Amino acid sequence: MATDEITLHRGLSGVYFDRTETTFIDGREGKLLYRGYNIHELADASTFEETSYLLMYGELPTQAELDDFDATLKANRNIPPEVTGIIHAVKDDHPMSVLRTAVSALSAFDPESEDNSSEATLRKGIRLTSQVPTIVMAHHNIRNGREPVPPTENLNHASNFLYMMDGEEPTPETAALMDTDFVLHADHGSNASAFTARAVASTNADLHDAVTAGIAALSGPSHGGAAENVMTMAMEIGEPENAEKYVKDLLASGGRVMGFGHRVYRAEDPRARHLRDGVRDLSAEKGEPKWYAILEAVQKAMSPYARRGIHVNVDFFAGVIYYLNGIPHDLFVPIFAVGRIPGWTVQVIEQFEHNILIRPLLQYAGPEERSYTPISER
């Protein structure tokens, strides 16, 4: 095809490449549904366990189904000692790189690692949902010279995650906020990491391959890394009265305000409001209201950009919540990954069930055809 007949869709922006029955996003309205249920209802009333079941099986569970699913999640929290050994060996790397390496290694110990049937992939996704929090917190302790805190079956997913940080059970309020955070991050359509996972699955590679690649894609600051950068920004701002000048200077130098903007949303990211209230309450409870005040001031400074469709996204509030719970900055992206395993799993299953190799085209923009010159004549 002549190059002037090609329509380029850089970044695949606005391109539909397949169908999904999992997550619906209306970016203009700021609407997000998991399997038809509004994210606002799920954030207010559901739990990560129930939402994961919904995503993975397509329907809300009965109490008996939820109990069974919960028991399976709890029973699969341990990781093989060999994987703990690998975490020791790479402990000085960024936690996202350690997570990527450990998930890749887990495939060697999974009894169904190469079985790409929907049933086996779902079982592997449930195991990974349980194991990923254990990897993140085992690494956190190992790099601090401590023994990992083993997971407990006495706590729900969010509480157990926080418990494995230092062996302390979180308060019910803290655990509930973490649970909501996981619900909000469980799936989000064809974002960069889910697309990457689908592209890997489209070659008939397996779930561990796809999730390992998804973790790699999530690690960048334009996708998962924004929460970490928002906290760095809040610390640099220091006091609410500095926010306006900070934002002005950043934008004037061509920088981006982290936690703002989204490829899909032109209205506010519907996930943001559930964490906004959490930051406000937690900042007050911890006697550090300035963090909420700084975020408010940044939002005010960014308000002229709302006309251009640049609003806060989910990551704007998440970072301060993690910080106020004593979680180190570089664990913020791994927390996103902990929440996202159900989403990657169902999207990989969808890919397998209607598989087509993902293989787009690149428009050639290099030199015209030319003759090879022997090296002696160059």
Q: Measured from the CB of residue 313, what is the shortest distance to ligand CMC in angstroms?
A: 4
Name the β-bridge partners of 31: 26
Q: Measured from the CB of residue 60, what is the shortest distance to ligand CMC in angstroms?
A: 24
Q: By CB under 6 A, name the binding residues for ligand CMC.
A: 188, 191, 222-223, 226, 251, 256-263, 310, 313-315
For ligand CMC, the closer CB: 25 or 56: 25
30 and 267 Cβ atoms separated by less than 8 Å: yes
* CA distance linking residue 301 with residue 310, whole number of Å: 12
* CA distance linking residue 101 with residue 103, whole number of Å: 6
* CA distance linking residue 40 with residue 31, whole number of Å: 9
- Active-site residue flag, 4: no
DSSP class of 238: -
Q: H or E stretch including 33?
A: strand 31-34
For ligand CMC, the closer CB: 151 or 224: 224
* CA distance linking residue 348 with residue 116, whole number of Å: 10
- Active-site residue flag, 185: no
* CA distance linking residue 152 with residue 305, whole number of Å: 46
> Among the options 262, 269, 274, 311, which is catalytic?
262
For ligand CMC, the closer CB: 151 or 259: 259
Q: Measured from the CB of residue 251, what is the shortest distance to ligand CMC in angstroms?
A: 6
Task: Using CB positions, name the residue nearest to ligand CMC.
Answer: 261
> Among the options 70, 179, 209, 315, which is catalytic?
315
- Active-site residue flag, 188: no
- Which residues lie below 8 Å from residue 7, measured CB to CB, with a gap of 6+? none
Place of tokens 């906020």: 177
- Ramachandran area for residue 179 (φ above 0: left; ψ -120 to 50: alpha; else beta): alpha
For ligand CMC, the closer CB: 176 or 251: 251
Q: Measured from the CB of residue 261, what is the shortest distance to ligand CMC in angstroms?
A: 2
Name the β-bridge partners of 38: 33
Q: Measured from the CB of residue 32, what is the shortest distance to ligand CMC in angstroms?
A: 11
Q: Measured from the CB of residue 327, what is the shortest distance to ligand CMC in angstroms?
A: 18
For ligand CMC, the closer CB: 95 or 259: 259
Torsion of CA 312, 316, 317, 322, to 10 degrees: 170
> Among the options 40, 94, 223, 329, which is catalytic?
223
- Which residues lie below 8 Å from residue 304, measured CB to CB, with a gap of 6+? none
Q: Which of 360, 358, 273, 371 is nearest to 314 (CA)?
A: 273
For ligand CMC, the closer CB: 160 or 313: 313
Query: What residue type is 339 in one-letter code?
Result: G
Query: Which amino acids are annotated catalytic?
Result: 223, 262, 315
